[in-house]
Structures are given as C-alpha cells and as structure tokens.
C-alpha cells in the first residue's frame, strides 16, 4: 500500500509552486486562493516542514519546496501524457494562434501550408491585432506571437524566435547603380511606427546625421513595405517580412555592405506555463523555431 499525502494537496502545491502564485494556481485548478492555501498548509503539516515562505502577498519556495517541485512536476507531466495517450482521439485538433497582422500575412501565412502538410491532424485558428494580449485572461488562445517587447508575467512562458535583421529596403529604381554611403539621407525615409528600431536608431548606429525633414509613417509593416515597393521611399524593416519582395526583386537592401547591420529579437512565442506539456503547442513551437533558423541561415 502506497503511503502518500492527498493528491489534491499535491496538485495544489505543484500548481502554486510552478506558477509562483496561489491566485494563478487557483485559476488553473478552478479553486479559490484560500482553498489552495488550505491544501498547501495540509501538505506542510503532513511533511512537518515549510514549503513556502509568505510575505506581502508573495510566496517563495523553501529548499524543501524546491526539492518537492523538482520531483512532482515531471511526475504530473508523465501522468498527463499517459492519460492523453489512452484518451479517445478526435479526428482533428485545433490550435488557436494570435499574432500581429503583418506577421500573419508576410511571414506565417505563406508557411502554413507546409505546417499543415507536416501536421495534418492539427488545424490552425488564427486571429490578429496590433494590440498585445494577456494570455492569462484570453483563455481561448493557445499561443500568442508578440511583437516588439514583452513584459515578464508570472504563469506565462516567453521565448524569442531568434534575432532578425533590420535593414533599409527600397525599390531598385530609387537606389541606382552608384549608391554611396551618404546617399541614404537624400531619400524619403518611411517610418514604421511599431518597429522597435527607428530611423534615428539606425542613423546613430551607423554614425550618420539623420536629415531633419518630415517622414511618412505607417502602423503596419505590410503597409510600409508596400509603400517602399511603390517607390515612396526607403523603409526600415525586418528582412523577415520582406522575403517575397526581395526574392522577386521588387525590393533591395539599400547599400548592402556599406552599413553596419542591426539585429534584434522582435518576435516572441508566448504560452501559459500550465500548458507547458501540451503536445500541439510544442509541435507548433518547434516548427516555428526551425523555420526561423532556416531564414537566418538563408540571409
């Protein structure tokens, strides 16, 4: 006969320790924070040792708590995996993904057919907006691909999708064959309002004086690139977004080799820590990472 503390108390402790919050654990397990606290206290009484230190509404694991979590989390992952394998399989599984409109149309969308061929049993449900989403409040979302910068949030895992090259892009008609380093200041500079790298940053990085004149601006990378293709001026954008235009020759990287390259991590894969063992999320994550690395090798 196994001698174990109650399973509910172990589940409550594991969730609270993993999420570093009694409140988040309560939301995950559909309990009240006081119920989580009661279960944790009963476990501490069972072991006759403190598992958390509590101060000013914060909880931190003790050494004993860290040892217990290191064993419990893998054990619960194995139990969940075994139950999933024995559960009836549905004909199709869906993954709800949220990202910015430009990432959806310029990078992810063109690659989705390849993903669907690799994972025919997984259907992508995509939504997009420029506004950031709260993964803990948007329960219908499985994954969010954030753009720009992401604030750390307890209960949410955030992983960068690799560094991206930010470069000046323009129609070859604007650049010509004898482009000099200082010539970029003579072109119309199109501002991409959401890009974390702005023209002033680029000019400073390349030790050049930025021209003092008005700049047309757009709030979507797709619009910025379309304006550059139409010859409005030179766009400062991620090469990741301009794959098709560069391949077709509609755009070129201005002054290739003349300027100091700028690379930034600008896209981030986000999901709830409670879904860490989700197979569909892991499959989508691994596929995105492979695609991002393939692009980096091609640049």
Q: Could you tell me if residue 38 is inside a domain?
A: yes
Q: Both 168 and 241 in a single domain?
A: yes
Q: Could you tell me if residue 223 is inside a domain?
A: yes
Residue 203 pLDDT: 94
Q: Both 230 and 137 in a single domain?
A: yes
Q: Both 58 and 192 in a single domain?
A: no
What are the E-state strand segments in 47-106? 52-55, 58-61, 93-99
**Virtual torsion, Cα 126, 128, 134, 139, nearest 10 deg:** -30
Q: How many domains would you assign to the chain?
A: 2
* Rounded mean pLDDT, 130-141: 84
How far separated are the first and last CA of the chain, in Å rounded? Answer: 61
pLDDT at 296 over 60: no
Q: Both 82 and 199 in a single domain?
A: no
Q: Could you tell me if residue 2 is inside a domain?
A: no
Q: Write out pLDDT tens, residues 26-73.
A: 888 888 888 888 999 998 898 899 998 887 667 789 999 899 988 888
Which position has the token pair 């949410």? 156
Tokens of 14: 């594991």
Residue 190 pLDDT: 94
pLDDT at 233 over 90: yes
Residue pair 168/236 in contact (Cβ under 8 Å)? The answer is yes
Q: Both 246 and 291 in a single domain?
A: yes
Residue 170 pLDDT: 95
Residue pair 195/225 in contact (Cβ under 8 Å)? The answer is no
**How far apart (Å, rounded) are the C-alpha atoms in residues 143 and 141?**
6
Q: Both 251 and 116 in a single domain?
A: yes
**How far apart (Å, rounded) are the C-alpha atoms in residues 221 and 213?**
21
Expressed as residue numbers, the domain containing 44 is 7-86
Q: Which residues contact 203 (CB under 8 A, 6 or more apart)?
A: 209, 210
Q: Both 137 and 264 in a single domain?
A: yes
Residue 297 pLDDT: 55
Side-chain-facing half-sphere of 94: CA atoms under 13 Å: 6
Question: CATH code at 236?
Answer: 3.40.190.290
Q: pLDDT tier at 79 (50, 70, 90 boundaries)?
A: confident
Q: Could you tell me if residue 220 is inside a domain?
A: yes
pLDDT at 143 over 60: yes
pLDDT mean across residues, the chain? 87
Q: Write out pLDDT tens, residues 184-200.
A: 999 999 998 888 899 99
Q: Both 43 and 112 in a single domain?
A: no
Q: Could you tell me if residue 225 is inside a domain?
A: yes
What are the E-state strand segments in 11-134? 52-55, 58-61, 93-99, 122-128
Q: Both 185 and 229 in a single domain?
A: yes
* Rounded mean pLDDT, 133-161: 87
Residue with the larger pLDDT of the pair 101 and 298: 101
Q: Both 12 and 81 in a single domain?
A: yes
Chosen domain end from 86, 106, 127: 86
Chosen domain end from 86, 108, 143: 86
Residue 138 pLDDT: 83
Buried b (16+ CB within 10 A) or exposed e, 255-286: beeebeebbbebbbbbbbbbeeebebbebbbe
Q: pLDDT tier at 299 (50, 70, 90 boundaries)?
A: low
Residue 1 pLDDT: 67
Q: Could you tell me if residue 173 is inside a domain?
A: yes
Q: Both 184 and 108 in a single domain?
A: yes
pLDDT at 92 over 70: no
* Rounded mean pLDDT, 233-257: 92
Cα-Cα-Cα-Cα dihedral sign, residues 160, 165, 168, 169: negative
Question: CATH code at 45?
Answer: 1.10.10.10
Q: Could you tell me if residue 1 is inside a domain?
A: no
Residue 298 pLDDT: 55
Residue 90 pLDDT: 52
Q: Both 114 and 215 in a single domain?
A: yes
Q: Write out pLDDT tens, residues 94-128.
A: 999 999 888 898 899 889 999 999 998 899 999 98
């Amino acid at each position: 006969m196994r001698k174990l503390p109650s399973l509910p108390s172990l589940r409550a402790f594991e969730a609270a320790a993993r999420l570093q919050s009694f409140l988040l654990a309560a939301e995950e397990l559909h309990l009240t924070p006081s119920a989580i606290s009661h279960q944790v206290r009963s476990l501490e009484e069972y072991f006759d040792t403190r598992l958390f230190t509590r101060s000013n509404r914060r909880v931190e694991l003790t050494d004993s708590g860290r040892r217990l979590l290191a064993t419990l989390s893998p054990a619960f992952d194995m139990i969940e995996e075994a139950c999933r394998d024995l559960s009836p399989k549905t004909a199709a599984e869906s993954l709800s993904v949220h990202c910015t409109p430009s990432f959806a149309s310029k990078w992810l969308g063109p690659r989705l057919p390849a993903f669907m061929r690799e994972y025919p049993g997984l259907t992508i449900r995509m939504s997009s907006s420029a506004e950031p989403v709260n993964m803990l409040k948007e329960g219908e979302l499985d994954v969010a691909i954030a753009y720009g910068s992401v604030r750390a949030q307890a209960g949410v895992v955030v992983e960068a999708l690799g560094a991206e090259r930010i470069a000046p892009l323009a129609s070859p008609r604007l650049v010509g064959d004898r482009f000099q380093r200082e010539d970029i200041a003579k072109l119309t500079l199109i501002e991409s309002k959401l890009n974390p790298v702005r023209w002033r940053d680029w000019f400073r990085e390349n030790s050049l004086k930025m021209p003092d004149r008005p700049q047309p601006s757009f709030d979507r990378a797709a619009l910025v690139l379309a304006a550059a293709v139409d010859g409005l001026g030179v766009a400062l954008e991620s090469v990741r977004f301009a794959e098709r235009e560069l391949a077709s020759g509609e755009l070129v990287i201005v002054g290739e080799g003349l300027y100091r390259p700028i690379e930034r991590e600008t896209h981030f894969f986000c999901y709830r820590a409670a879904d860490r063992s989700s197979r569909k999320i892991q499959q989508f994550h691994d596929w995105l990472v492979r695609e991002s690395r393939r692009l980096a090798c091609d640049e």
